[in-house]
Amino acid sequence: MKKWYGLFVNNWMEALSERHYAIKFFINLITCYSLYIYVTHLLVANRFREGGILCDPIQQLFTPVDLSLPIFILTYSCIVAFLLYIIPRPKDFYFAARAFLVVFLLRFSFIYLIPLSPPKTMIVLNDPVLDWIVGNNNEIYNDLFFSGHVADVCIFIFCCRNKWLTYFMVVSVILIAVMLVWQQVHYTADVLGAPFFAYASYRLFAKNGLEMKTPLSYTF
């Protein structure tokens, strides 16, 4: 904790010493957050739109099981761990937030352009945090291609420079992807496509701005 606090103070003091950095950082953060909430509510409004149902040969191999709890634990463990990692690194935070927003906007675009409905055997994913964001009784069932859970964690992986945290998130995202398909919340194509869009967003909007260019170059 002492090392984290020292890193936080030193990096933020250095960043804030740059002219207009604080204004630029908070405008970027508020813009990203506002657009995220706005597009989330567009997804809520889109939740009754009918779409096609895919014949997924992988899903046909398994009977769906409710894996909401382990999906929730792994997903939010990655979120909390990445926030603890990125908060003391304001310059990395600036670019990671933009990449995160871009992959979310890409996801909304594909959901709108390629409407899909989940399998009839889907078990609804129970996510108390998402329920709080979108409001109770506003569950989103047809936000399929591509998987937000997988894309978000992949953005964290690409923007992370701590090797142990990276390893943890890689294992987590693989397990999350498998469980989403098993619960039939997402098709196999949804989880396989997500890393590619996440990497494109990272490559175009974050990679050149991150302070360290080699992903596994230093520890926390």
* Predicted model pTM: 0.87
- CA nearest neighbour of 185 among 147, 137, 138: 147
Cβ count near 138 (within 10 Å): 15
Asked if residue 187 has pLDDT above 60, the reply is yes
Predicted confidence at residue 207, as pLDDT, reads 85
Which residues, 6 or more positions from 2, have their beta carbon under 8 angstroms from its beta carbon?
Answer: none
What 8-state DSSP symbol labels residue 220?
Answer: -
For residues 33 and 53, give the distance between their C-alpha atoms in angstroms, rounded to a whole number. 32
Q: H helices of 46-162, where?
A: 68-86, 90-113, 128-134, 148-159
Asked if residue 163 has pLDDT above 50, the reply is yes
For residues 44 and 46, give the distance between their C-alpha atoms in angstroms, rounded to a whole number. 5
Predicted confidence at residue 213, as pLDDT, reads 44
CA 167 to the chain's CA centroid: 16
Asked if residue 199 has pLDDT above 70, the reply is yes
Q: What is the mean pLDDT of residues 24-30?
A: 90
Q: What are the tens digits of pLDDT across the range 52-81?
A: 888 899 998 889 999 999 999 999 999 999
Tell me which of 83-92, 123-132, 176-185, 196-205 is least confident. Answer: 123-132
Q: What are the tens digits of pLDDT across the range 94-118?
A: 999 999 999 989 988 988 888 888 8
- CA nearest neighbour of 159 among 148, 169, 145, 147: 169
Based on its alpha-carbon atoms, the radius of gyration of the chain, rounded to whole angstroms, reads 18
Tell me which of 68-72, 139-143, 176-180 is least confident. Answer: 139-143
Question: Across all residues in the chain, what is the average pLDDT?
Answer: 86
* Inter-axis angle of helices 2-16 and 90-113, nearest 10: 90
Q: What is the mean pLDDT of residues 109-129?
A: 86
